[in-house]
Amino acid sequence: MWGEALSEREARAMERVLSELSSVPWSRPLVERIDRDGGLVSDNMPLLFEARFAHALHMQGLTPEYEFRAGVRDTVIDFRVPGKTDWLFELTSIRPSEAVKRATVEDGPFVSQFLRSPNSENTAEENKESEEGEMLLAQQKIGAKVFDGHQVIKFPVPDGRIHVILVDMRAYLNGGDAWDYSQIAYGPNRVPRELVHCWLHKGQWQPIRGLYEPECLGGAAPHLQQRIHFLAFVAEKTYEPNEILEKILLLPNPMLLNDSDLGAVSGKCPVKVGA
């Protein structure tokens, strides 16, 4: 399944990336962690994603701090990129869910996914085997970077630094698309009606609300709305050195950034702001 197992292309690209990062003082702990955990293996794909992002920052001449303590208990944020305005980046990888694995059929080089539409006659488990179920799981995974179900983690209340959660979407429905990312963040209002994903809630079909929306039912959503300036999405395919930055789509949080703020902040962003 694409996005589940380490491909030969990704492994080849990572050999070069890790070799270069191993000689950079600030990124050496990340390389050593990957090596301790088995190196170029499928289980390390989230860490390899971190390494590619680290390498992209390094290629821009930046000197981030890895595993930065921002003052929220004993939790750390993956990267602090210093500057006149500091940027804090936390990375997360959406991995194939058990529902998607059950719905995937491999026949030699061909892979098919048979995800059913949610239906009131289906069981709860059957409804999870849907694009809508995957969208809700992605929101949960993103929200877990701010709130662990009991307390706020990683990101403090904004204090002048810019907070970003960067999401590796390769294993999300073959990478998903910009409309998926928009609904995950903003909900249905910025998505064409025919592409809006709905979910059965209390016996009624309702659009899946975005993490930035007050109506979002996720327990992490209020904390994310108060603390995260951007949700960013990327689904790499070639693993060329600049791909990760060229494909990142940054979606600003309207609760923290108005139009004038966005113009000022975007000019200072260490990664490309998507359209």
Supply 114's token pair.
């048979």
Alpha helices in 83-177 (DSSP H): 98-102, 124-128, 131-143
pTM of the model: 0.89
**Residue 207 contacts residue 191 (beta carbons within 8 Å):** no
Residue pLDDT, tens place only, 203-254: 788 999 999 999 998 999 999 999 999 999 999 999 998 899 989 999 999 9
Residue pLDDT, tens place only, 169-193: 999 988 999 999 999 999 999 999 9
Q: Domain boundaries in the chain?
A: 64-266
pLDDT of residue 259: 85
Residue pLDDT, tens place only, 144-160: 999 999 999 999 999 99
Supply 264's token pair.
């000022």
Where do the DSSP E strands lie in the chain? 65-68, 77-81, 87-93, 104-107, 110-113, 162-168, 198-201, 204-207, 230-234, 249-252
Cα–Cα distance list, 199 to 110, 142, 155, 168, 173 (Å): 30, 19, 30, 24, 17
